[in-house]
Amino acid sequence: MGFQFDLSFLIFEIGVAIKYIPVVLLLSIVPLIIGLLLGIGIAIIRLFKIRPFDKFFTVFVIFLRGVPLVLQLTILYLAVSLSFDSLAKTFGLQMSSKDLSYTLIAVVGLSINATVYLSEVMRTALQSVPVGQYEAAYSVGMTSRQMLWRIIIPQALPVAIPLIGNNFIGLIKGSAIASLISVVEIINATLYEASGNYKFLEAYVAAAIIYWLLCILVERLVAFLEYKVGVYGKGGVV
């Protein structure tokens, strides 16, 4: 008995997986953007100790960093559907949690997760710029906005970009967990095709290949961006 692996079915499944790349990108890019925006806000609030929110966000970040994504998504999914059903019952609506979009819940959950990690990235990046740089910018009469755009961000970005790239890859891989709350993405789509002939290994290998290619692409993109923003750090003040 040889190793049973259906190559032509694998190729078919790769085709199926490719069709679901947009779903993976939706589940990773939208959380990345939301996470970046909210993450910067949280990082600034925590760095400049803006009361009373700084304490709240510190606890929020420390707690959620310790909880696996699969639990975050499951809890969000259960909490949303239970409260939705309960509300629908109270108001006598003809709707149930089954009408909710699983994808939307997954996007929200991944966004919360991304916000937590990216706020830490932003904090690290902003902290990597020495205080003297802020003071120097103020001392030559720059406004806060000028300081941020001309002095701080150009120095913080080279620190932030590789970390953001890592998080992007983490989100692409994390989007696979959305399959556990019934979102039809690469894994569930390829598994569905395999449910007739039980060739699940081919389905998983096809999914793995596509995830791998996506991650390599993102890695390349990040390396390119790193090179681009690194130009500021190469000296050459004149």
Partner 1 sequence: MENIFLFSLFIDSFPQLLSRLHITLYIVVVALLFGLLLGTGIAVARLYKVPVLSQLAAAYVSFIRGIPILVLLFIVYIGVPLAAGAFGANINRWDTLIFVMITYIVNSAAFLSEIVRSAVAGVEKGQMEAALSVGMTRWQAFSRIIAPQAIQIAIPALGNTVVSLLKDTSLAYTLGIIDVIGIIQAISSNTHRSLEAYTAAACIFFVLSFILERFFKWLEKKIGINNSIPGANVAPNNKIAVVGR
Q: Would you say 149 or 212 has its CB closer to partner 1?
A: 212
Span near partner 1 by CB under 8 A; candidates 46-54, 130-138, 144-152, 204-212: 204-212
8 A C-beta contact, residue 207 and residue 199: no
Neighbours of 105 (CB within 10 A): 22
Q: Would you say 31 or 46 has its CB closer to partner 1?
A: 31
Tell the smallest beta-carbon distance from residue 144 to partner 1 (Å). Answer: 26
71 binding partner 1? (CB under 8 A): yes
Q: Where are the beta strands (DSSP E) in 24-112?
A: none
Tell the smallest beta-carbon distance from residue 101 to partner 1 (Å). Answer: 20
**Six token digits for residue 189:** 């789509």
Residues in contact with 222: Cβ distance below 8 Å, sequence separation at least 6, in sequence order? 161, 162, 164, 165, 168
DSSP letter (8 states) at residue 232 = G
**Six token digits for residue 130:** 């020495």
184 binding partner 1? (CB under 8 A): no
Alpha carbon distance 108, 102 (integer Å): 10
**Residues between 131 and 160 that touch partner 1 (CB under 8 A):** 159
Give me the residues that bind partner 1 (CB under 8 A), please: 1-5, 62-63, 65-72, 74-75, 78-79, 82-83, 86-87, 89-90, 113, 117, 124, 128, 159, 162-163, 166-167, 169-171, 173-174, 176-177, 179-180, 187, 200-201, 204-205, 207-208, 211-216
